[in-house]
Amino acid sequence: MIPCEIENIFKMIKLRIILASSSPRRSDILKECKIDFIPAEHKIINEPEYSGDIEPFEFAENLALNKAKSIENQYPDCFIIGSDTIVVLNDLSAGALHYPSASPFPVSSAASLAEYDALSKRTDRGLSLGKPKDTVSAFNMLNMLSGKTHNVYTGAALINKNMRIYESVYDKTEVKIKKLSDEEIYSYIYESKPFDKAGAYGIQDPQNIVESYSGSYKNAEGLCIEKFIPLLKKYNLI
């Protein structure tokens, strides 16, 4: 096949990029970069939690790949983007559960307590904070992050089944959360409803609780676009 024919093939499929994510933040980042794509739901129903058996960035990349692969049979001739973000807290000096007596949340939920006890198991690589299931776990995640610096790892994958392309990248951003009072945590949860966000917060939320960050803002938002763009360029997708 001559080079011009290959270029024409890429142009034909350029608009057939599938984003295997329902995240509005990832969609917005791709739109900001003028990348045309079709949103689709990945098929991983119960996303695994980070257990510390591998490096955090490896976990994020692997899950990003698995999300993309979960719909590759539906779109075998398309380029599929998968992504995953995890929040890892290494400073565990204030990792205990905290239920203030004035809490407006239903802290008596046995399911919530059991879930959070499991979440609070520590590994040598730190504590991973996933998406909170309810207000109790959201409060405790934010309480542990309060006044501390943590790492946000985002993995992104690009696959194409028919072309046998399976590649991934990652980035890391250090984020410090402001020292928050119980009332400020309550207010943030009420206003921002961060139940679809790893670590129970979004760096982009109007009710800003982030004191500072080092690294990529977009990575902390949910897509390591600076590392991902070279991969898109490699296959002439942008």
Give, as one character, the DSSP assignment of residue 179: P
- Which whole number is the average pLDDT over 151-177? 97
Choice between 124 and 105, residue whose per-residue pLDDT is larger: 124
Six-digit token pair at 72? 């590759």
Rounded CA-CA distance 68/81 in Å is 6
What is the signed CA dihedral for 197, 199, 204, 210, rounded to 10 degrees?
170
Phi then psi for residue 175, to 5 deg, are: -125, 135
The amino acid present at 35, given as its one-letter code, is I
Burial code (b: 16+ CB inside 10 Å, e: under 16) for 112-139 equals beebbeebeeeeebbbbbbbbeebbbbb
Which listed residue (28, 36, 77, 84) is catalytic? 84
The CATH number that applies at residue 29 is 3.90.950.10
**SS3 state of residue 186:** helix
Rounded CA-CA distance 149/160 in Å is 37
Q: What is the tens place of the pLDDT at every residue in 49-93?
A: 888 889 999 999 999 999 999 999 999 999 999 999 999 998 666
Give, as one character, the DSSP assignment of residue 49: P
Per-residue pLDDT for 103 more than 60?
no
Whole-number pLDDT of residue 123: 60
Six-digit token pair at 11? 């142009």
Whole-number pLDDT of residue 49: 84
pTM of the model: 0.83
Rounded CA-CA distance 225/39 in Å is 17
Q: Match 């980035």 to its residue by tokens.
A: 171
Rounded CA-CA distance 153/171 in Å is 6
Rounded CA-CA distance 206/161 in Å is 39
Catalytic, 84? Answer yes
Query: Domain of 124?
Result: 3-234
Q: How many domains does the chain have?
A: 1
